[in-house]
Amino acid sequence: MYAGVYHLGFREHGNQNTGDARDVEACTRDVEVCTRDVEACTRDVEVCTRDVEARTRDVEARTRDVEARTRDVEARTRDVEVRT
Which residue from 2, 9, 49, 58 is spatially nearest to 29, judged by alpha carbons?
Answer: 9
Overall pTM surpassing 0.85 (yes/no): no
Total count of domains within the chain: 1
Question: Which residue type, as a one-letter code, is found at position 71?
Answer: R
Which residue from 19, 22, 26 is spatially nearest to 5, judged by alpha carbons?
Answer: 26
Q: Which domain holds residue 45?
A: 2-83
Average pLDDT across each block of 10 residues of the chain; the chain has 84 residues. List them in order: 49 56 89 97 98 98 98 96 88
